[in-house]
Chain A
Amino acid sequence: MRSAGVWAVLAVAAATLALPLVLDSGGLAVYVQVAVSASVVVGISLLMGYAGQVSLGQAVFFATGGYTAALVSQAGLPTLAGLLAAPVVAALCALVLGLPLLRLRGHHLAFATIAVHLIFLVVVAQTDALGGSTGLQGIPLLSLGPLEVSTNQGYAYVAWAVLAVVVVVARNIVRSRPGRALRALATSETAAASSGIPVGRYKLTVFAVSAAFAGAAGGVFAFYIGFLSPGMFPVSMSITYVVMAVVGGLGSVWGAVAGTALVTVLVHYLGVLGTLGGMPDYAPSVFTYAVYGLVLVLTVLFLPHGVVPSLAEWWRRRVRARQGRERAGADGRAPAPT
């Protein structure tokens, strides 16, 4: 049973690594998009699923990472330094913002993070050092010594490498002792606090970690796209990350990745459908919004724990039922109710 799971993971990993070699340019763009967004969504899934905090402004940290990577590499430093600085600066911003913001909870925090997003957009558009509303142009290609990442396939591998790091870090956090403390915190802050968990510090740490994930993704994105402007980070972008996290399953690292892949692929291919002949020019955006809305409504109402945890639960129940039947067949009794 366990080895079957390991083989399945290896097969999926091998297929994922082989995909960039066979995809066309449109498919490759989706592939990069999935990896970049999934890195952000894993962070949101941790933040919402474990710390119980909703952030509707995560795109701010994504953008912070992007701008950091761009500015560092445009200042003549190695691009790798930019990529490494992106998560650090995003996490520092999250620490500074989180100190006052994380006093809020629930819908108050949700609105506060949207407000931060709106403020961010205005401030960036007014700051000449960040290129104002026209943005930053001519971000150099990512390079490692003499090696320059110039193809989309290269960026696909960079993006998935970053996602792999994010997933490993997230899984280690979840399985550690602080991870268990976080789960307690998600259930009841009061109970967690009374059993000695430093609630405030933990919430702030998860907030910073999720921002670091978003920042790293933003760094990759900046090098991949080559230019940045505030218009590329609308408020709806932050909300779509939450949609992906909720669809995949909150508090589940693989759920975050699967949810992102599911929603991104659906949105892309319905968008392609929308650009076919005979469709009005606004059809792609109609399809996009409809997908986000429908998928979210259906998930929340019918699979409230998200796609991946629900599937896992269904599978576990099936296996248990089969084992129960086998046992019942062996000693001629009905399976004991579990």
Chain B
Amino acid sequence: MITLLAHVVSGLAIGCGFALVGSGLVAVYRVTGVVNFAQGMFAVVGGLCASAFLGAGIWHGGAELLAVAVAAAAGAVTGLLALGRRGTAPMTALIVTLAVGFLAYAVLVAVFGDTPRSTPGLPGMTSLLGVPVRRHHLLVIGVTAVVFLALWLFLTRTYLGKALTACASNPYAARVTGIPVARMAQFAFVLAGVLGGVAGVLVAPLRPMSFDSDVTLIVHGFAAAVLGGLTRPMVALAGGVLLGVVEALVAGYGNAAYQTTVALVVMLAVMIWHAARRPSVHQEVTV
């Protein structure tokens, strides 16, 4: 029972990372219809920068915030490249974000080298209902809860957040009412950068990160977000947490080699089930 709870807590922590990456995907997709392939890269940028800033002697907290700021800047650059030209179709923009991922590989390898890095998280263990858990796991869960609460308040209670939602549901109507849709799309990319950066900073102490860790992060983030059709952040949270816990249980009680496989098969099954339910006519993209 104690080991079960310990597995669940560590799964929750890593799942929160997936959920944050997934919510970044949601932020961009809702507003622009673009699936941002560089989303995993934002997390890698966050994680690697945090390790570099800590190594440079910046105190905890400051280093992490700076790293998130760098990830936000990466988000802004990605947005400019993907949407800077007028009339870029979402599928074209996906290819551009893929290219940005490769460019980021070049920059990341040049700056950080190609060996995996980790950061010291919150040290030590604590006891939760008699179960020993890593304090960093609790920190990850706590920060994620706060971020998602803030995200929810932002989207539903502020003018900017409502404008973003308006762009998502009907860009034409949003433009008619005077919302600068193009600037909102840029803002969505910056927001995605922040969410990815937070994910990277939180996950780096749990899993060593190298420049190409983005593939597993983005696939898991996508898996988490796709449950809610890529448009609902809260479903992405649920999906991410579910994936994390399932993986932790597979690793804990089965074969650790198959932990991602199980999660990916679940994601494929969900996607195919979704696709089978919706007729293709409604999904056709008009160019």
Contacts and interface: CB of A to CB of B under 8 A. Distances in A.
Contacts of A143: none
A108 B275 contact: yes
Given A189-B284, A300-B95, A293 B264 contact: no
Interface of B: 35, 81, 85, 88, 90-92, 94-96, 98-106, 109-110, 113-114, 212, 215-216, 219, 222-223, 226, 255, 257-258, 260-261, 264-265, 267-268, 271-272, 275-276, 280-281, 283-285
Q: Is the interface of A mostly helix, strand, loop or mixed?
A: helix
Contacts, number: 132
B99 A293 contact: yes
15 contacts: A103-B276, A106-B91, A118-B219, A122-B257, A122-B260, A125-B257, A126-B257, A239-B98, A289-B102, A289-B106, A296-B96, A297-B96, A297-B99, A297-B100, A301-B85
Closest 3 CB pairs of A and B: A293-B103, A293-B102, A296-B99
A110 B230 CA distance: 14
Contacts of A294: 99, 103
Contacts of A301: 81, 85, 88, 96
**Contact size range, A:** 35 or more
A189 B281 CA distance: 8
A188 B280 CA distance: 11
Interface of A: 54, 100-101, 103-108, 110-112, 114-116, 118-119, 122-123, 125-126, 188-190, 234-236, 239, 242-243, 246, 282, 285-290, 292-294, 296-297, 300-301, 304
Contact of A292 (B35, B91, B99, B281): B99
A274 to B, nearest CB: 11
B30 to A, nearest CB: 14
Given A103-B275, A108-B275, A282-B114, A290 B94 contact: no
A115 B268 contact: yes
B70 to A, nearest CB: 18
Given A112-B268, A293-B100, A304-B92, A189 B106 contact: no
Given A105-B283, A297-B96, A297-B103, A126 B109 contact: no
A107 B94 contact: yes
A243 B99 contact: yes
Contacts of A116: 268
A114 B109 contact: no
